[in-house]
Amino acid sequence: MTITWKQVKEQLRKADAGKHDILVDPHSIKWLTSNEDFRVQASGEGPFDLSEWAASQLCSRLGIPVKYFRNCPPELKKMQVEFLVNARCEPDKCWRLRLKNHTIRGIVSGTYQPFDNKAIASVWEQVGQCDQFKYESLLDDTTFFLRTLMPNGADAVDRNGGILSGFYIRNSEVGRSGIWAGPIVYRLVCSNGLVVADERESFMYKRHIWIGEPAIAAMLNHAMTGSIDLSRKTAIAMEKARSIPIDLHVLVLKLDELELQERLKQQAVNSFLSEGHHNMFGMVNALTAAARELPPSERFGLEKAAGLILAEAA
């Protein structure tokens, strides 16, 4: 379902409630156990819970296997973290704890430069006429994935369900990714999206370090210009993909190659059979249909894999 720019901004405004950061020397953090929970106190604030993503970042910094850590009782977690912080963390290297209310949503380095989703929105407003586009906004605790869709630009509406050209902006406030932008196509009839594959990794990528709004605005403007042209070409390639026959066996082999969960494999198969498009278009459509069930970061990954399949067949 597409929404307006005003609705995108309202979504981001609500998501920002309760967010703040703490810059802290990891040696000064207090690791607490209470009521069978493992919690954190920093700079006199807290105690805070750890999100799953923040816990995985803590493990990565200390060299603890994530699955093992999740199965440890709180006291064992506390003992290991305290020992490894003292053994491995340099005293002059701060951590930035990214919080929302009573939860640590991310643990990043002290050199990490926040460029949050509201800053992305501010830059996008500087770049162009935001109200002339349609949007699909996917947002969770780790990832913001915004599709910007060109109005009145649907190609092959009758056969393909209305393909809109556009581009995406992707960001993470908690170190899951940098700032990305690139081309997408979007099928109106079913809300399937496809991240267009290109010889470049993306039209824009910037880590969260040495970031300034003017530079990001220039990069985003360049990405938008190139993305729209390529996404329109991809919309045409999707029509041509109907001439490439694909049967169920080929689809299942591709699903195994992508190492998807069984639930997603079944959803892709069901979509392929119900749509009745036994061709390359049908396979790509089945993958992007399964991707709709995923959180934003994983959805981006599967839609990009679908884009690579289409590009290889073109």
Domain positions in the chain: 17-109, 117-313
pLDDT for the residue numbered 155: 46
**What span, in angstroms and rounded, lies between the C-alpha atoms of 224 and 89?**
41
Q: For the chain (length 314 residues), average pLDDT per consecutive 10? A: 92 96 96 90 94 97 96 95 95 94 96 94 87 92 92 51 81 94 79 71 80 85 80 80 91 90 91 89 91 91 89 76
CA distances in angstroms from 124 to 69, 167, 206, 222, listed in the order given: 40, 12, 15, 12
Closest CA to 54 of 179, 207, 209, 175: 175
| pTM listed for this prediction | 0.87
Euclidean distance between CA atoms 308 and 314, whole angstroms: 10
* Axis crossing angle, helix 262-275 with helix 248-258, rounded to the nearest 10: 150
> Cβ distance 168 to 195 under 8 Å?
yes
| Rounded distance between C-alpha atoms, residue 282 and residue 271, angstroms | 8
Beta bridge partners of 34: 37
Distance CA 222, CA 146 (A): 17
